Amino acid sequence: MAKLTIEWGKLASPTVTTGKGAAEVTDMSNVRGVLDPSLRQYERPILVYLESARAESKTDKENIDTTTLKDERVALSAKLFTAVKANADEMTQDHPYWKFFEGPARPRFMVFSSQGELIGKLEGKVSPTKLSDLMKRALHDEFAFSFDRWVKDYQKVLTGIDKLEGLKKALDQKAERDTSTSAKREIAERREKLEAESSALAAEEKKLLELKRKDAVAKG
């Protein structure tokens, strides 16, 4: 299915305080302050994946990377989060960010609200269901929507995108086989229709990512 790769951000450098990198100065009172500056603008829940390269964590890491993060509901949910990846092995007690991410040097996930409050954490062998449920809880705390219905609607959009990509590929192949004037005209008309359908799906996808916050609904 299309577009199911999680886009991971990073934490701000804890060592840059002056000079050219001064923009990364962190607010140590809240986990939002230790995100990379480019991520602080988003008012979304925060998903942090602390991965480990230790030998004893190899099985858990492989399970997470090949199964948990490839799960459709997890990958779709991540579109509504500020997703950040960090190194669990570096997160020792003397690390500046330890108070936010304290825990064993093993693969683990931590989910925070958009305001930086810890919602929950999972470590070790994390199943797709456990992570999806934790992410779902964080989303329902902030957004006025049905998660299960949202997933189904997004799946329809992605299925539509996949179908259009297949049709476009078939048209390209037809254009190579048939170079007659009539075929060119027919292909051009069909491509125009497919582009219109693509634009409509893109608009649907954009709308799905613009959820109404519960606090905004209450005020309205």
The string over 126-138, giving b where at least 16 C-beta atoms fall within 10 Å of a residue's C-beta and e elsewhere, is bebeebbebbbeb
Q: What is the pLDDT along the chain (220 residues), one digit of tens a residue?
A: 556 889 999 998 876 555 554 555 567 788 998 999 889 888 899 999 999 988 888 999 999 999 999 999 999 999 999 999 999 999 889 898 999 999 887 899 999 999 999 999 999 889 999 999 999 999 999 999 999 999 999 999 999 999 999 999 999 999 999 999 999 999 999 999 999 999 999 999 999 999 998 876 666 5
* Long-range contacts formed by 127-130: CB under 8 A, 24+ apart: 127/68, 128/67, 128/68, 128/71, 128/73, 128/74
Overall size of the chain counted in residues: 220
Give the separation between CA 203 and CA 190, rounded to whole angstroms: 20
pTM: predicted TM-score of the whole model, two decimal places:
0.87
